[in-house]
Chains A and B, each alone.
Chain A
């Protein structure tokens, strides 16, 4: 039996709304295919398929604007599990993950598997170790959880400070990928594209916060799933006669292996992760698809899997979504949906890469420039690859073909001579994934600024002022992220891996211990977070030659996590034991029923019987 129980009713028309959105998007694609056949110029098709959906997302964001604090920070806590699952998946995969992972499978085959497995396993750990307890706490942000758990403002501020770098790194990696993809389709200055993209992204989330983000992420992930499935299913039917590419591409692996052997793509020796991972610059294909643990050693394979698994489990943008569902049970269900959707992506991306590589190997590898089909010229014109004739014998010598990792996904429709609209469709999917993830990071950071840096020191601030601070913070962050992307050359995928590593190193051990160990103290949690963050960050700035214990700097999180755990336990042992009130909170988050701890403390604070959370 429990007291103070309330039932929050989700909007019953959500399904209808998203059904209409999906039908509208499908109609747009069909209309553009018809117009293309009637002679509409590619420039127009590019602009319409890329720009219209983005404008539509911004319209959704404007339509669901809000001035209610619960709506702005936690979407009113009434997001049904399926929709929260869609938003969680969009947060996790993102444009960098979608394009980077497809490119990695294309270049290094199944040695790219740790990223995919890490996403799914991270959701599993989140479901059993963290999510129900975070939901019961009811905090708006990850630092907010620490604040209530330890009744500590200092712990909140430190967690917020440590949260900023990894989330900002994820944000800039998404913006960088978005700029690259949009530049393929829109013939204007890339930085101008980035400015417009940042403006639309800001409009999408600034007025509605988490509420606007949730519904736009759902729409965006629907676009991602549809847009990568349509061309892939078409290719699968053409090549294997089966419309289930995730299970049918086994038929081409054997052929692909033989073609690769013929064309000189041979099994490589094991190298460090940093050397194996394809970079952002154009490069030749040098490793076969259907092998595992060939170029990547077992140690690096495990380290990368662990970093993604633990990083995905405590990713601050994901944690921020834990309080958006109506109940503890529904947060578990939402992670189940997210696992299904991310699992679908993880099964689809290797199939996408396999069919692309199969066609690319047949048409482009090991043939003279004169024998490369028209699709090669189209790919070259679009800037998706670079073809140069053999310098010794241009007529008979094999042409040199260089592929761009982040553009591999766009090659499949061109290689199969599909209508140009389908190339644009993949571009729209990539941009939708970019906007979904970037929006998630932007909102998470803005919420932290308002809730964890401003509110703890201005307890009497009105809800309206808190929203204004969140919006000003959001503007400052997007301007900062834009400046960073314009002024720095970096590899978005490596930035993403570092961000997952940093999240894991700083937050995994303290968060798990805060939920499962009553003895963890405020001092222990701070020690754990700071030590894990510091060890992981120091590995990033170390020279590759002096990486500690042979751990690749990209996966430094595997050193950060145990150091963080040791520091948290050591700090707790050395500090005074937690008070009875704190132990009550730990007991309370283990009970899935009743009001949230945040709601109870807010109610008591109104009567002057507790500190406002």
Chain B
């Protein structure tokens, strides 16, 4: 078992929960709301794509990859701050 006091554990759990909820919400908005709203921007162009299509397809995917990397790093930092970085 990990030798970590209860206060530290609860604090780590609460922060991890907030991060998970925040990131899940962000992913939900990005994947569900952006593709529905994006076609309104099709009158503009980006890299010769209709802007709406570019945002709905390439933009959302690139955004998701960035979020996954950011969230993973953030959680790793959080674990380190609470002294929970040892390998299994």
> Would you mind naming 22 contact pairs between A and B with Cβ atoms under 8 Å apart?
A1-B3, A2-B3, A110-B57, A113-B56, A117-B60, A127-B68, A128-B23, A128-B24, A246-B58, A247-B47, A292-B35, A292-B38, A292-B39, A328-B88, A343-B64, A347-B58, A516-B17, A590-B16, A593-B2, A593-B88, A594-B88, A596-B88
- Cα–Cα distance between A377 and B49 once the two chains are bound (Å): 33
CB pair A305 B13 closer than 8 Å: no
- Cα–Cα distance between A3 and B1 once the two chains are bound (Å): 7
Most buried by B among A128, A251, A332, A600: A128
CB pair A335 B72 closer than 8 Å: yes
Residues of A whose CB lies within 8 Å of any CB of B are 1-3, 5-8, 77, 110, 113, 116-118, 120-121, 123-125, 127-129, 132, 135-136, 138, 246-248, 250-251, 253-254, 290, 292-293, 298, 301-302, 305-306, 309, 326-329, 332-333, 335-336, 339-340, 343, 346-347, 350, 516, 587-588, 590-596, 599-600
List the 4 closest A-B pairs by CB distance, nearest first: A250-B49, A250-B48, A593-B86, A332-B72
CB pair A117 B61 closer than 8 Å: yes
- Cα–Cα distance between A600 and B2 once the two chains are bound (Å): 11
Shortest CB–CB separation between residue A241 and chain B, in angstroms? 13
Closest to A118 in B: B31
CB pair B23 A593 closer than 8 Å: no
Complex interface bits, B20-49 against A, C-beta within 8 A gives 1, otherwise 0: 100110011011100110110000011111
Closest to A333 in B: B72
CB pair A138 B88 closer than 8 Å: yes
CB pair A113 B57 closer than 8 Å: yes
Given the known inter-chain contacts A1-B83, A301-B35, A587-B9, please indicate yes or no for A335 contacting B68, CB distance below 8 A. yes
CB pair B84 A127 closer than 8 Å: no
Contacts of A592 in B (CB 8 A): 79, 84-85
Pick from B2, B31, B72, B88: contact of A127, CB under 8 Å: B72
Contacts of B84 in A (CB 8 A): 2, 591-593
Closest to A124 in B: B27
Pick from A306, A326, A346, A347: contact of B87, CB under 8 Å: A326
Contacts of A6 in B (CB 8 A): 87-88
Contacts of B38 in A (CB 8 A): 292
CB pair A309 B31 closer than 8 Å: yes
CB pair A591 B57 closer than 8 Å: no
Given the known inter-chain contacts A590-B9, A592-B84, please indicate yes or no for A302 contacting B32, CB distance below 8 A. yes
Shortest CB–CB separation between residue B9 and chain A, in angstroms? 6
CB pair A128 B20 closer than 8 Å: yes
Shortest CB–CB separation between residue B74 and chain A, in angstroms? 9
Contacts of A138 in B (CB 8 A): 88
- Cα–Cα distance between A292 and B57 once the two chains are bound (Å): 10
Shortest CB–CB separation between residue B77 and chain A, in angstroms? 11
CB pair B24 A129 closer than 8 Å: yes
